[in-house]
């Protein structure tokens, strides 16, 4: 008597740890090429785990389609290539992640794509910066590391008036706080490594965009440049997404509590956090972020390397880690990490000085984080 196994119905998508998928014959192969979105052929083209991650983030960002990539940097690269080719010109917000600047200045410049940096106060009127070959503006929802908040709807209007595209890096905010596509952006990028995955165990990126042609083109870029993400890291990131909303609420609540404490501390010269009423973008951040201000903040102590080292050494369980957005609190130092490639004159002009420390606030009990910060501030 033949045995009939019951259908397998996993609650969680399995990890499809394979580099290639098989076909029965040429007829089935031709069916793939007729409708590649219905089948799988080669993991560089697509795989079930990467597609699940892309679909879930696309829903959160209200896009028409998305591709996941091997890192946040590859997502930035793909988004620029979505709209640019050799001979084109791009605009970039002056206060931006240092890796974005290096990519534009060193690598894309070699490919014939030039860049002009736009001060934050000029982002809403781009007429004096655009050229006939300008194709896009790259900017961040919340800038790294000084947390200036961009009025995305206003910048999108300025871009479209100049007939250029707006690409927004939404890593610091996450789609729980802001959805740039709904405010007029043409593409959104994330370092999935950060809040979307959330547990400091994934390196990944994503590009979400609008329009059938843009979706088709971004998939081609991912495939042809080999920017794809592995099944296992895709699976880990999907797992992280399941708690994204809960985590962002706790990150935000903790960060506000800590920012308020630091802003009143005599050894802290300045706090950069959009949830503080004294922040220049507070009202905008409150509306655009739906009363959530995120888990990232920066603060300035004395501009003295010895003082900074002493402070870092006095934090027993808050590590100095050159990344952000994990469930555990960590600190970073923009001058020596994310913005190391900028010359000192440029950094000083932006206000990124030796004493600026970036704090990625985790989801621990806020009293635990405050206790460590209090002790470390005592010794400097």
Active site residues: 44, 97, 169, 194
CB 323 within 8 A of CB 194: yes
For 31, 47, 223, the CA distances from 20, given in Å and listed in that order, are 16, 9, 14
| CA–CA dist 154, 185 (Å, integer) | 10
| CA–CA dist 9, 13 (Å, integer) | 9
CA 188 to the chain's CA centroid: 9
| DSSP 8-state assignment for residue 8 | P
The first and second tokens of residue 70, run together, are: 């091997």
The first and second tokens of residue 283, run together, are: 């009202």
Can you tell me which residue has the tokens 């501030």?
A: 377
Q: What are phi and psi of 331, to 5 degrees?
A: -120, 160
Can you tell me which residue has the tokens 């329009």?
A: 211
Q: What are phi and psi of 158, to 5 degrees?
A: -65, -40
| CA–CA dist 105, 119 (Å, integer) | 17
Q: What are phi and psi of 363, to 5 degrees?
A: -110, 15
The first and second tokens of residue 253, run together, are: 């609540």
Pairing of strands 165-169, 205-209: unpaired
Sheet holding 114-118, edge to edge: 65-69, 205-209, 187-191, 165-169, 134-140, 89-93, 114-118
């Amino acid at each position: 008597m033949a045995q009939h196994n019951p259908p397998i119905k996993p609650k969680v998508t399995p990890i499809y740890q394979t580099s290639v998928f098989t076909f029965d014959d040429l007829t089935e192969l031709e069916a793939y090429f007729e409708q590649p979105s219905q089948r799988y052929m080669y993991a560089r083209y697509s795989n079930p785990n990467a597609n699940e991650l892309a679909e879930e983030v696309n829903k959160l960002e209200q896009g028409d389609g998305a591709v996941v990539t091997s890192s946040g940097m590859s997502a930035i690269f793909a988004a620029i290539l979505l709209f640019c080719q050799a001979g084109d010109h791009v605009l970039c917000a002056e206060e931006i992640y240092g890796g974005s600047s290096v990519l534009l200045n060193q690598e894309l410049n070699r490919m014939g794509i030039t860049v002009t940096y736009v001060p934050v106060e000029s982002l809403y009127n781009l007429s004096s910066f655009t050229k006939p070959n300008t194709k896009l503006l790259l900017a961040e929802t919340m800038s790294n590391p000084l947390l200036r908040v961009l009025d995305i709807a206003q910048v999108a209007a300025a871009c479209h008036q100049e007939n250029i595209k707006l690409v927004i890096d939404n890593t610091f905010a996450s789609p729980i706080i802001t959805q740039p596509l709904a405010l007029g952006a043409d593409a959104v990028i994330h370092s999935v490594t950060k809040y979307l995955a959330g547990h400091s165990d994934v390196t990944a990126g994503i590009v979400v965009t609008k329009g059938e042609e843009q979706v088709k083109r971004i998939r081609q870029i991912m495939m042809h440049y080999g920017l794809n993400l592995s099944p296992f890291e895709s699976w880990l990131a999907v797992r992280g997404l399941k708690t994204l909303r809960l985590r962002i609420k706790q990150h935000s609540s903790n960060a506000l509590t800590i920012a308020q404490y630091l802003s009143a501390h005599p050894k802290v010269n300045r706090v950069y956090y959009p949830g503080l009423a004294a922040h220049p973008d507070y009202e905008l951040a409150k509306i655009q972020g739906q009363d959530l201000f995120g888990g990232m903040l920066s603060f300035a102590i004395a501009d003295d390397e010895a003082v900074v080292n002493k402070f870092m050494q006095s934090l027993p369980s808050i590590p100095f880690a050159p990344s952000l957005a994990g469930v555990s609190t960590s600190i970073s130092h923009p001058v020596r990490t994310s913005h190391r490639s900028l010359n000192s004159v440029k950094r000083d002009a932006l206000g990124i000085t030796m004493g600026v420390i970036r704090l990625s606030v985790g989801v621990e009990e806020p009293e635990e984080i405050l206790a460590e910060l209090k002790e470390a501030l005592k010794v400097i």
